Structure 1
Amino acid sequence: MVAHPSAVLIQAAATDGNNPIFNTVVFGLFVAITLFVVYRVSSGATSRADYYAAGSAFTGRQNGIALSGDYLSAASFLGIAGAIAVNGYDGFLYSIGFLVAWLIALMLVAELTRNTGRFTMGDVLSFRMKQRPVRAAAATSTLVISLFYMLAQMAGAGGLISLLLNIHSAFGQALIIAVVGLVMVVYVLVGGMKGTTWVQIIKASLLILSVALMTVFLIGKFGFNISNLLSQAAYNNPMGAKLLQPGGSYGATDLTKLDFVSLSFALVLGTAALPHVLMRFYTVPTAGEARRSVVWATSCVLIFYLCTLVIGYGSAALVGSKEIKSAPGGENSAAPLLALHIGGPVLLGVISAVAFATILAVVAGLTMTASTSFAHDVYANIFKRGKADPYEEVRVARLTAVVIGLLSIIGGILANGQNIAFLVALAFAVAASANLSTLLYSLFWKRFNTTGTLWGIYGGLIACLVLVAFSPVVSGSPDSIIKGVDFHWFPLKNPGLVSIPFSFLCGFVGTLVGRGKADRYKQAEMEVRSLTGIGAPQGRLRH
């Protein structure tokens, strides 16, 4: 059997350029430096406010860059670039959805959430409701969403390493995923929110700088003429000129068009309901800084996605879809393979280290969010009825982080090989289905009550999970998670078109049939606080 050119190229890079050693050294340096930073900024910070919300001491600019770091995951860098390289215009639709979503977060969620909460999404949802059942529901949805999101990041880690070191064995990739998971747990245990925020700032800066440099190098190869790049991409792809037109991936049938609408629902509405994005609004001292955070995050995300458009089409032009699909890691290999083509083993090592940093930082942020939600919402407010010792609560959060790290390692091993942009889109669908309706109802509907909150969260969450379980994602198609069986009955790959409206309907009906009336005084207090910030916890800016 003749080895594929990509495998030969990577093997040659590994042999001639000492690629594996270089990659390991660069990644090791990043881990060592960021761990030192995490230790320095977090030493002595043991209070709940420090561990959960970094003392609300970050500026809007700092938090905005960290927000973009949380948001620009392995899906954005590896998955979207691969989707554009293989599917062209339709792959870029992910970027459009991810970017437009920030307008929803800016207009409807950021300021109001900052004013009405303290540490978690459960603080907002339970403000005028019965504390224990609502916090339990909020914690459940946070844990499920975080684990879904982690699957994508861990799958990206496995695919990236398999590409770099040409590791085809399942055991080798599983070992790499385990190492990434363990390092991530160390970040969270040592640094808390303050440490993970600085990791996100460093990582986001490196990532945006890296993609910008790759874009400049790439355009330079085509004489700084975008038309030449696009023409070569179309020539080097089986789709031909259709690579530059809508419909290459989602336009084949009415069903695929409907699947695109469902995907768009999830992408645009999911961001404002992601727990790790919502939690970032508590790391700034005022609602004004929360708004600035979103503006900075949107700017960073815009620059990044414009660069990934060029990188995606550049991968199609210089690498080719056939080589990308055949390489270890599949579609997720497009950006690293392009780095190898335009800059050799050194650029491949740098880009791969940045991609690893991306995975590591995002998973650390997710773990921080999930462990905080369990410790603050479940342990402190359900088990201890709001009377938990603050230091004991932080200790529970750290223990939870270890458990979540182990679960994410197991899930990442199972999901290895899937397109990670697609996996993240599923996490967005779960977030929008479980959280968005209850957040908006809580903030804007005076009559909304506890029954409506519980119906909205659990109804949307269960509907979304059931539809995913019986969709082509899990069984019945060539790229399903479970091969060789077919028990799917839901035709769409993304359930957002059904599960998100269903969640709003559940919240509405639950409110109408619920016995308990809304607390008018609590509702009035929440309205005043959300619009003015009066009574909201304040922090001190650290410039």
Structure 2
Amino acid sequence: MSAATLLGLTAMMYTQGVDAYIYMIAFFVGWPIILFLMAERLRNLGKFTFADITSYRLDQGKVRTMAAVSSLTVVCFYLVAQMVGAGQLIKLLFGLDYVYALFVVGALMMVYVTFGGMVATTWVQIIKACMLLIVGTNPAFFEGGVLGGKVIGGGNMIAMHLAKAVGGNLLRGFLSAVAFATILAVVAGLALAGASAISHDIYSRVIMKGKASETTELRVSKFATIGLGVVAVLLGIAFEKMNIAFMVALAFGVAASANFPVLILSMYWKGLTTRGALWGGYSGLVSAVMFVVLSKSVWVDVLGNASAIFPYTQPALFSMPIAFLLTIIVSKLDMSARAKREIDAFDDQYVRAQTGVGAATASSH
């Protein structure tokens, strides 16, 4: 559970009423799709990342670059949501200016991930889950119209004010610790995912052609973590007033446009080629980000323009069909010899995806 769920959805329920349930349901609807359409096939193939799957029978360098760029974009969207929640939480608890609070959280995240790595990230996930189960449900049992008048720290801090109203400073302090641990856990995981895309997919596999040492790759990963932290802080400043559950929905929309079409077609459609995957992936990514920038949430609320150019707040309804359409059209028009080899290689991938035969050998190779 991220800060978007704990803080953003609570705030959305407070401001929008039961209509906010669509966001709660939508986040979980994705899991059955992953479970029934993808999970078993990915496990049988012995592949576990977007880049690994899409480059299974396609051009490694080009597809990994595309996958890394789109994954980094999604990570940045998701990171911003968590950073906004963290900045507002620190502002509420300690009275710090929001910008200073963001720099504190960003620095803590960079240090934590750089020196703690995956082990530290896993432990904080375990601890925050236990704390959340213990204290997170208590305010829900006792609330009853005790709040009034959107509150210090902005709308995303509704849960914190509710905790104080029903349990005083003790409960608010405990829930704040849970919220901060939640944010730290998610931010650390996202930073690791983004750093891995840069160090493993772009640097090691594309730039160094698989010849980079583990030590060098780890060093690049640490520098990438610092860079992502700086980007997250700067974007967090720009999106201060945004509801964080809504911002996470934007990240889902970008992922649905840039990653999902290529990923699902690479597993289920024999006709996919490298050229089609690149056109589909990049078109979905560019169109989704462009629609977000031109929508009211950025064009008006962040950039201060009078009216939005794109009339909708969510991009995926339009950008995802664009990605699917271009992927299929360009793949069908690709008559190159490489495209024929990629199409012929689907049968081997299909058998392994269904049975797992040969996956361990291919993975180690």
TM-score (norm 1): 0.63
Answering whether residue 76 of structure 2 is matched by residue 151 of structure 1, we say no
Aligned with 1:475: secondary structure?
A: helix
Distance 1:344 1:445 in 2: 57
Alpha carbons 2:42, 2:48 under 8 Å: kept? no
User: How many angstroms does 1:370 deviate by?
Assistant: 0.6
**CA shift digits 1:347-367 (9 cap, x unpaired):** 111101111111111010000
User: How many angstroms does 1:514 deviate by?
Assistant: 2.2
Alpha carbons 1:120, 1:372 under 8 Å: kept? no
- Comparing 133-142 with 500-509, greater Cα deviation is found at 500-509
Q: Say which of 318, 327, 335 aligns to 1:507.
A: 327
1:354: which partner in 2? 178
Gap regions ≥5 residues in structure 2: none
Change (3 A) 1:319 1:487: closer
**CA shift digits 1:485-539 (9 cap, x unpaired):** 236211001112111111111211121122332425532232222222334459x
User: How many angstroms does 1:328 deviate by?
Assistant: 2.5
Change (3 A) 1:114 1:177: farther
User: How many angstroms does 1:187 deviate by?
Assistant: 2.5
**CA shift digits 1:184-227 (9 cap, x unpaired):** 222322233333223222222222332223334x2xxxxxxxxx
Distance 1:112 1:201 in 2: 28
User: How many angstroms does 1:111 deviate by?
Assistant: 2.3
1:176-195 to structure 2, matched below 5 A, reads 176-195=101-120
1:209-248 to structure 2, matched below 5 A, reads 209-216=134-141, 218=142
1:103-502 to structure 2, matched below 5 A, reads 103-116=32-45, 118=47, 120-167=49-96, 172-216=97-141, 218=142, 314=143, 317-320=145-148, 323=149, 325=150, 327-476=151-300, 480-483=301-304, 485-486=305-306, 488-502=308-322
Distance 1:419 1:494 in 2: 14
Change (3 A) 1:204 1:514: farther
Change (3 A) 1:416 1:454: same
User: How many angstroms does 1:113 deviate by?
Assistant: 2.5
Alpha carbons 1:184, 1:361 under 8 Å: kept? no
Change (3 A) 1:111 1:198: farther
Identity fraction in percent: 41
- Comparing 100-109 with 430-439, greater Cα deviation is found at 100-109
User: How many angstroms does 1:459 deviate by?
Assistant: 0.7
TM-score (norm 2): 0.93
Distance 1:89 1:461 in 2: 31
Change (3 A) 1:435 1:346: same
Distance 1:395 1:514 in 2: 39
**CA shift digits 1:360-408 (9 cap, x unpaired):** 1101000000111111111111111122222222221122111111111
Structure 1 counterpart of 2:75, one-letter code: S
Structure 2 counterpart of 1:111, one-letter code: E
Distance 1:105 1:207 in 2: 25
Distance 1:501 1:129 in 2: 22
Distance 2:34 2:19 in 1: 24
Distance 2:297 2:326 in 1: 25
Change (3 A) 1:473 1:354: same
Distance 1:388 1:493 in 2: 42
Answering whether residue 349 of structure 2 is matched by residue 526 of structure 1, we say yes
1:253: which partner in 2? none
Moved over 6 A (4+): none
Higher relative contact order (CA 8 A, sep 6+): 1
1:39: which partner in 2? none
